[in-house]
Structure 1
Amino acid sequence: MFAQEPSVVLLLLLVCPSPTQVMASSLLDMTAWSPGNSSPTAKDCLQVETRAGGLTVHCSGLRLMKVPLGLSNQTVCLFLNKNLLSSLPPNSFSTLLQLHELDLSNNQLSTLEPGCFYGLANSLRLLDLSSNRLSTLDPEVFGGLQVQVNFTHNPWHCDCSMQMSVSLMDLEASSVERVVCQTSDIPNAGTVGLPLVLLVEDWDLCQSVRRTTDVLTLVTMFLWFFMLISYLIYYIRQNEVFANQHFEYIKFLENREPFSPIEFLKNL
């Protein structure tokens, strides 16, 4: 009977889940989203309850262009791999305070905006950003995170911001030597194709930035000193003019005849 009516088997599987996992979305939910829908929701994903009571949410391969709305705050693992995400705006996961693992691999991410991982500092431990289109990183993106990251298979441009960002996190051990610089700020053709960890060992990618900062500081100090000297010269010259005018007035008073009230009355 079951062989003739597969819908009955599916119904029994949904009504009688295994002791360790509970299916929290139906097959109808899995097909509810299409690439034309700009606002996918959590119902478009497969949600599985873990033994500890949290949720593992699978949104893989749904061609999502945005992070789904309405994800449960009980989510501990979120798989958004194999989609069409191109950027992560601020507060993309701010409600997922228990999120431990986040898989964003095999997307089209080229931009991670500061604040996109806001709210995950105390929970997130695993982050997969492999196989995307990331070329640079803003250190503010990973501020406060204590996370192990997979950065492999991205067209990295190794510069000071990249060096500072990587120093804030723990690269996944198996991927450290596979974070390769396709381009860099160092004018040396030998750096192309070199792993970032080796490049940082031999070069300081922030050295040119520090030199520029030092030059700007010196120029600013010189301009400030020049303005101070110019003001002092102007102040001294103005006082000299005032002193000369005062001196001339005193000489005028000294050379003037004494005032006589009688002569004054006669003139009247």
Structure 2
Amino acid sequence: VFTVKPEIAVTSCPASCHCIDKNGLTVVQCMSCNLETIPPDLPRDTVVLLLAANHITHIPNHAFRELHYLQELDLSYNDIETVDVGAFQGVSNSLLLLDLSNNHIQSVPKEAFARLRAKISLSNNPWHCECTLQEVLRELHLDPETVNEVICHTAVQEEYAGKPVIQVLDSGINFCNFHHKTTDVAMFVTMFGWFTMVIAYVIYYVRHNQEDARRHLEYLKSLPSNSQIIVGP
């Protein structure tokens, strides 16, 4: 259901896209257009933007910031690997639907979806399950119909690879705690290594000085004794 907005004419349309006006709502269709980037010249009154089935690999900062009426954004079936921190700045208040399913996204910055109220689909991406993803999902309104299709392709704990992220988190697993434990173990190993090096140096230093002292003592013993005084006639 779209909200009512003032009438704004469609003044331009990106090449290879098709722009139509449906009851004063501008719909931009750019599906299967072999696009590699998001078109920069989108009509500012765009309400629905359909970019599915292209070859887009990256969502840069402020990609949609001029689209103040944007309510539906479909980026499914692309080759998206990276999403910048400010990718959706400017549309956080208006966007209602966001589809990022069927891409190549492994992780996203936790700030990328900040303040988004949209229902989001993240299914069928090769997600790496770790602390950042857990924090991202905590703040999102995931599409309930596809939530079980958000799968751990890889994970900081290998036994969770291949399982739905929500299922893993609902079981009580906390990837952030695991991250902290891993960091603590790494720090302990590093400190133990340095400690071992220091002890080894001290042992070497003591043994080296003992050897020098022994040689010095043997040299002193080899010197002529002055304890005998020769008395003349």
TM-score (normalizing by structure 1)? 0.62
The answer to whether the aligner puts 1:192 opposite 2:164 as a matched pair is: no
The answer to whether the aligner puts 1:183 opposite 2:160 as a matched pair is: no
How do residues 79-228 of structure 1 correspond to structure 2 at under 5 angstroms? 79-188=50-159, 191-202=160-171, 203-211=173-181
Which structure 2 segments of 5+ residues have no match? 1-9, 188-233
SS in 2 for 1:149: strand
How do residues 8-23 of structure 1 correspond to structure 2 at under 5 angstroms? none
Q: CA deviation at 1:212?
A: 6.0
Which structure 1 segments of 5+ residues have no match? 1-23, 30-40, 218-268
SS in 2 for 1:194: coil
Letter in 1 for 2:88: F
Question: C-alpha separation between the residues in 1 aligned to 2:186 and 2:64?
Answer: 39
The answer to whether the aligner puts 1:44 opposite 2:13 as a matched pair is: no
Q: CA deviation at 1:177?
A: 0.8
Higher helix share: 1
The answer to whether the aligner puts 1:77 opposite 2:48 as a matched pair is: yes
Task: Say which one has the larger Rg.
Answer: 1
Question: C-alpha separation between the residues in 2 aligned to 1:197 and 1:121?
Answer: 24
Letter in 1 for 2:16: D
Q: CA deviation at 1:210?
A: 3.6
Structure with more contact order per residue of length (Cα contacts < 8 Å, sep ≥ 6)? 2
Question: C-alpha separation between the residues in 2 aligned to 1:193 and 1:61?
Answer: 30
Question: C-alpha separation between the residues in 1 aligned to 2:158 and 2:26?
Answer: 48
Partner deviation per Cα, 1:64-104 (whole Å, 9 max, x = no partner): 01111221111000000111100011011010011000000
Counterpart of 1:56?
A: 27
CA RMSD of aligned residues (A): 2.2
Question: C-alpha separation between the residues in 2 aligned to 1:94 and 1:210?
Answer: 36
Question: C-alpha separation between the residues in 2 aligned to 1:85 and 1:77?
Answer: 18
Letter in 2 for 1:193: G
Question: C-alpha separation between the residues in 1 aligned to 2:70 and 2:180?
Answer: 37
Q: How many residues align?
A: 178
Structure 1 residues 200 and 58: CA distance shift in structure 2, 3 A: same
Letter in 1 for 2:175: L
Question: C-alpha separation between the residues in 2 aligned to 1:156 and 1:150?
Answer: 13
Q: CA deviation at 1:211?
A: 3.9
Q: Identity across aligned pairs (percent)? A: 32
